[in-house]
């Protein structure tokens, strides 16, 4: 009975060593331990590192990896070694699942000292027609490599497409940002022109021409009436009257409420003073009616003396159009 128990224990131990060992998928960091004795005090470990796939196409791919072999408590041999009984093969390599006789060895006559390790680099060509393959040490399966199905190539192409899309998006964003910055520059120039610092010094100057305004402010006329060009500045329409040389001699604009009051306050702060008051008769044709609208307006004239003459601002306002101010800016030589 005692012998039967001992025999059964031996069989169970032997079977557990064989059955417990099954191949795992070859991935970065995967590891397998092969015991060299029943107490597991002696064993050889195999660890996969630096996995990469290169030169992948839809029909083939190179699998690159390092397999680190560590010998604990004993010496580990790899390859064929001669002994008194002949040759003994400590095979380390792969076998094709569909064709077990097709093998690839990872080394020959390599002996790893006790508690030492080595790293073996491998590059394997994967093709769908070759099927999967399993890496063995002697007769123990370690790692399996699935059949190549082109998915790595598809993933590579997907990543390449994503990178291309990201690059295109980055380029488009860069162009859009550049356009936005450029637009903001033009927009700020249009705002600046309607401040006293600029119209006081520029109106009537030889460089302040219709061509210059259209180029530097990125505007085109929405209407031309004789030598008066009307532009949309975004927050208001501005009319610019030029002489025969294209030099702008007068600016007109229509502002409302707080915008008009802010415009006038800035002019006063810049040094414009009331130089006259009066009335005027205005004729408005764009009323949507058959007859034009004729009405009286109160006019206040502001002026500022400069080294190149006097600049005037005439502001017209009527109770009929409360909160609306028609503004004209021009220069005289005296």
The DSSP line for 7-49 is HHHHHHHHHHHHHH---EE--TT-EEEEESSTTSSSEEEEEEE
Residue 234 DSSP label: S
Residue 213's pLDDT band (boundaries 50, 70, 90)?
Answer: very high
Q: What is the pLDDT of residue 239?
A: 95
Residue 51's pLDDT band (boundaries 50, 70, 90)?
Answer: very high
Whether the per-residue pLDDT at 73 is higher than 60: the answer is yes
Element (H, E) at 227: none
Burial (CB count within 10 angstroms: exposed 0-12, middle 13-18, buried 19+), residue 289: exposed
Q: What is the pLDDT of residue 252?
A: 94
The alpha carbons of the chain give a radius of gyration, in whole angstroms, of 45
The mean pLDDT value for 162-178 works out to: 87
Distance between CA atoms of residues 227 and 237, nearest Å = 16
What are the percentages of helix, strand and coil residues in the chain, rounded to 5? 30, 45, 25
289 phi and psi, to 5 degrees?
-110, 170
Q: What is the pLDDT of residue 282?
A: 65
The mean pLDDT value for 227-233 works out to: 94
Length of the chain as a residue count = 334
192 alpha carbon, distance to own chain's centre = 34
314 alpha carbon, distance to own chain's centre = 52
Residue 292 DSSP label: P
How does pLDDT run across 125-157, given as a tens digit for each residue?
Answer: 998 888 889 999 998 999 999 988 888 778 878
């Amino acid at each position: 009975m005692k012998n039967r128990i001992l025999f059964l224990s031996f069989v169970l131990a032997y079977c557990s060593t064989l059955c417990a060992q099954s191949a795992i998928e070859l991935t970065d960091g995967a590891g397998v331990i092969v015991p060299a004795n029943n107490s597991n005090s002696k064993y050889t470990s195999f660890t996969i590192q630096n996995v990469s796939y290169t030169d992948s196409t839809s029909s083939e791919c190179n699998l690159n990896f390092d397999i680190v072999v560590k010998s604990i408590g004993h010496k580990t041999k790899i390859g064929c070694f001669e002994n008194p009984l002949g040759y003994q093969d400590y095979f380390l390599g792969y076998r094709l699942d569909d064709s077990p006789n097709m093998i690839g060895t990872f080394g020959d006559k390599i002996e790893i000292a006790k508690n030492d390790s080595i790293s073996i680099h491998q590059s394997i060509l994967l093709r769908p027609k070759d099927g999967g393959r399993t890496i063995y040490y002697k007769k123990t399966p370690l790692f399996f490599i699935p059949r190549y199905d082109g998915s790595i190539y598809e993933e590579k192409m997907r990543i390449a497409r994503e990178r291309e899309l990201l690059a295109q998006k980055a380029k488009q964003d860069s162009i859009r940002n550049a356009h936005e910055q450029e637009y903001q520059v033009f927009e700020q120039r249009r705002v600046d022109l309607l401040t006293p610092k600029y119209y006081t010094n520029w109106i009537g100057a030889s460089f302040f021409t219709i061509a210059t305004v259209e180029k530097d402010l990125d505007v085109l006329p929405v209407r031309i009436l004789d030598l008066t060009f009307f532009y949309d500045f975004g927050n208001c329409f501005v009319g610019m009257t030029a002489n025969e040389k294209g030099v702008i001699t007068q600016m007109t604009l229509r502002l409302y409420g707080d915008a008009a009051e802010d415009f006038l306050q800035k002019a006063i702060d810049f040094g414009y003073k009331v130089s006259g008051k009066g009335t005027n008769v205005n004729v408005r044709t764009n009323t949507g009616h058959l007859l034009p609208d004729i009405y009286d307006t109160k006019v206040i004239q502001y002026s500022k003396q400069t080294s190149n003459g006097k600049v005037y601002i005439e502001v017209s306002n009527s109770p009929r159009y409360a909160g609306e101010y028609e503004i004209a800016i021009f220069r005289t030589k005296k």
